[in-house]
Each structure stands twice: as structure tokens, then as C-alpha cells.
Amino acid sequence: MKASFLKDLLKRSTGSVAVFGRGLSGRAVEELLNKEGYACDIFDQKDKWFSRENARNCSLVITSPGFPPSHEWIKLAEQEGKTIITELDLGVCFSRAVALVGITGTNGKTSVATILSHVANNLGLPSIALGNIGYPLSSAETNGETIGKNIFLETSSFQACHSTVLRLDSLLWTNFSPDHLDYHLNEREYFLAKLKLANGCKNSNNVWIGESVVSNAKKFGISLNPNFKVVQTLGKKEIPSYVDSFFKSVPQSENLAFALQWTSELGISHKQFFEALEGYQPEPHRLQKVDVVNQVSFWNDSKSTNLASVVAACRSFSEKIIWIGGGRNKGQQAGDFAKSLKPYLAGAYLIGEMSLPLNQCLVERGIKSTICKSLKDALHLAFQAAVRQQKILFSPGFSSFDMFSNYSVRGNSFKSLVFDLKRSSQEDTKLPVTHLQISY
């Protein structure tokens, strides 16, 4: 479907637009539709149910990322022959941007989008980072913030799988690894949702993909367009010595490689890029050092919600680390964590719903593991076990929703606990820990 067809559909519609979800995406849709003079009804599972009569009478459906393809409301709309689009589709329909640059991947999307927006603006190219980053495209369109700008659009698989209008000017697909298997039918369907963005790009020569994307395509028996360009992670020697150490971690060196590819296409040199990178403030909770207590350093990587992100964080250190992890599962296997993390761990301290299966799998592989009742207990016990100059990494690898409202609250809780520990700790004294179950 083209944006022009969607505009015609809206103009010809007699019924109101049905909007699924009252969250950030749904509210953004409502604001833009109202601005453009279209009526809409918001349906939310908490307070307003979508019935067959609603499906029959609405003009079309705009769904939010929280509604998987298998959701009964989606199926109901399909049965009634209704067109289903996303918030991104609506935003694109009314977009006044210079270029729409999609950024997707299992990990690193927000970092790449914000790095590029920062660099581009410093180079005199008006830009804005939007999408899954927390500021919907439709909201920016309503507020008139996209006119004449490059949009770096962080795009999730949730948004991609429903999209029918979105056609990007270029796409950066950073990486791929198992995730969101509680949403997609299986790993292959998750891959295909992201591939949909690449195949729908206006110019296949403007699609850049990571090496893990290529290897997974082979695993699934999927042929990729030969015009797609493969990006290799930057080596440490390729990053100037004056660049902040944050960018020299494994995750960020991959993110920088993709950002460099896009700017290079505009004729911007690596020297110009790194000069324009100066002053960039990293998004919080992405492998950042919190503090040092008695020569033990604490690292916050609360944004980590899958195995690949944990492994990348571990690979950023030259020695074995003490890992604090766990949370609510999204379809990942505990055994995969134990197998992949074994070379990097000196010990593990586990929280949340996944602590029991993780503990069992880690112990089976000979890794010292402890089940903890809270994040505070995990941090204190990890501190007791650490030797001087050892690193304690909080990179959960799972969703936060079993214990925290989101990864940001989870990360801030970890940071606060580290600061409390530092205040109460003395040079040769470590805090006692109670009510812990320890397994070896």
C-alpha cells in the first residue's frame, strides 16, 4: 500500500478510525488524526473492548506494537476485511521529512539513532531521532518537528510486522539474535519481520546489515538481496584514542560502524564524523560504569534484555566478571545462557522469575551460582564474593516486568544500591547478606 492510497482511504472513509491501545503510540495516532480532521475511537483491553460490530463499522484499524498478529482483535478486523496499519504508517503518510532512515536490530537501535542524530546535527544536517526510542513519528508530525529534517527512525519488529505503508529511504539493520519469542511465532518469524523493512526499502543499495544478519539468513534458508551491504564491527584501532571509552565496548563499536557507513555515503570523512561525535551523551543503562567500591567496579547494563546483549557486554571485559542477571522470560532458553556465558563468568547472582532455571543450567556447567530474593541481595552478595579490581556486571538478559515497571527503573535501582553500598562500606568491611539460597 502506498501513502497516497492511505490518504485516499482516510478521505473516503465514512466510519471512524479504530485505534488499538491507549499507550504512547495510540495517543500519538489520536493527536495526528484529530489534527488532520479525522474521527477515531481508541480501544483498550483495560476499559473499552473491540467488538465485531466495531470491526464492521470502522473505516480502518491502526494498531499499536503491543498487539501481536495473533491477537483476537487483529483477527476480527481481518475477518471484516478492514485495512490494518501502524502508527508509523500514519506518520509516514503525513511526513514532511527530507529522508527516512530506518534503524532496526535486536540490540543497539537507540544508540545508533541518537549517535546519528547528534553527529548529523553537528555537521549542519537538521535531524531528529524518533520511533521506538520513545517519541513516535506521528507525535513529531503533529508538532511540526519533521519538516526538512533527516529522521532516524528506530523501528522494532513489533512495528514492522504490521506495517503496510512504511518505505524507508535507507535502513541500518545492526544485528540479529533470538528475542521476543513470546510475541512472534518463532525465531524465523521474528527475522522475517525485520527483513520486511529491508525488502521494502526504496533503494536496496541503501540497506546495510550486520554479519549476524547474514549468518541467520543462512540458518533459516532465506536469500538476501545481493545489493545489501554487510558492515563489520570496528576494531579498537579504528576508533581514535581521544574518543570516549564508552564507544570502545563491543556493543558500541558495532553501533559506530553502522553510523559511519551512513555518514560515509554523504561524503563525510571518518575524521569529521568523530569530531562531530564529541559531546554525545550516551543513553542511560547501556554498559556504563556506575562506581568503584573498595576497588570493585560496578557496571550498569539494565537495557540488556536478551542473551546477545549479555554476551556483548561480557566480551567488553578482558577478565572474567561476576554477573547479576535474570528477570521475566521472553521465550529464551536458560540452557543457551549457561552455554554462552560460561567462558566469561567467575560467578552468577540471579534474580526474578528466571533465577531457578538459570541457576540449574549454570550449576550443571560448573558455574558458581546463587539465587537471590532481590536485586539488593544480589548486589551485596556479589560484592562479598568479589576480589579487588574485579568487575560486577548487571546485565539482566531478560525483561524487567517481573520485578520492575521497566528497564530504566531497574537500572536506576541498581545505581542507587551501588551508591548506598559505597556510603556504608569501609575499606576492609563488606556488608552481611541474609535470606539467600546459595547453590554450587
Query: If you count DSSP H runs as helices and E runs as strands, how many of each does the chain have, helices first?
Result: 17, 17
- Residue 335 amino acid letter: G
Q: Which of 394, 359, 396, 352 is nearest to 374 (CA)?
A: 352
Beta partners for 437? Answer: 371
Residue 217: HSE in the Cβ half-sphere, 13 Å Cα cutoff: 20
The predicted model gives 91-112 an average pLDDT of 93
Structure confidence at residue 56 (pLDDT): 95
The predicted model gives 175-196 an average pLDDT of 87
The predicted model gives 381-390 an average pLDDT of 94
Grid cell listed for 269: 570523512
SS3 191: helix
Yes or no: say if 371 and 437 are a contact pair by the CB < 8 Å rule.
yes
Compute, in degrees rounded to 10, the torsion defined by CA atoms 321, 178, 255, 403: -60
Q: What percent of the chain has pLDDT over 90?
A: 79
Given a cut of 60, is residue 431 above it in pLDDT? Answer: no
Structure confidence at residue 418 (pLDDT): 97
**CA-to-CA distance for 3 and 9, rounded, in angstroms?**
10
Our CA angle for 128, 133, 134, nearest 5°, is 100
Q: Which of 280, 207, 209 is nearest to 247 (CA)?
A: 280
Q: Where residue 2 falls among pLDDT bands split at 50, 70, 90?
A: low
Q: What is the pLDDT of residues 252-262, one digit of tens each?
A: 999 999 999 99
What is the bridge-based pairing of β-strands 345-350 and 17-20?
Answer: unpaired
The predicted model gives 216-221 an average pLDDT of 96
| Dihedral over Cα of 230, 233, 237, 240: its sign | positive
Grid cell listed for 121: 546535527
Question: CB neighbours (10 Å) of residue 381?
Answer: 23
- Roughly how many angstroms between the first and final C-alpha of the chain, as a whole number? 57
- Cβ burial of 231 (10 Å; 0-12, 13-18, 19+) is buried
**CA-to-CA distance for 88 and 131, rounded, in angstroms?**
8
Ranking 200-204, 283-287, 319-323 by mean pLDDT, the lowest is 283-287
Structure confidence at residue 66 (pLDDT): 86
Q: What is the pLDDT of residues 20-66, one digit of tens each?
A: 999 999 999 999 999 999 999 999 998 999 999 999 999 999 999 88
Residue whose C-alpha cell reads 511540526 in the numeric block: 144
Q: Where residue 157 falls among pLDDT bands split at 50, 70, 90?
A: confident
Domains of the chain: 3-88 (3.40.50.720), 96-277 (3.40.1190.10), 288-439 (3.90.190.20)
The predicted model gives 74-93 an average pLDDT of 94
Yes or no: say if 183 and 214 are a contact pair by the CB < 8 Å rule.
no
What is the bridge-based pairing of β-strands 321-325 and 170-173?
Answer: unpaired
Given a cut of 80, is residue 235 above it in pLDDT? Answer: yes
pTM: 0.85
Question: CB neighbours (10 Å) of residue 434?
Answer: 8
Which residues are within 8 A (CB) of 108 and not within 5 positions of it... i.e. 6 or more apart? Answer: 174, 175, 251, 254, 255, 258
Structure confidence at residue 181 (pLDDT): 74
Helices (H), 206-305: 211-220, 250-264, 270-277
**CA-to-CA distance for 377 and 351, rounded, in angstroms?**
9
Yes or no: say if 310 and 341 are a contact pair by the CB < 8 Å rule.
yes
Given a cut of 60, is residue 76 above it in pLDDT? Answer: yes
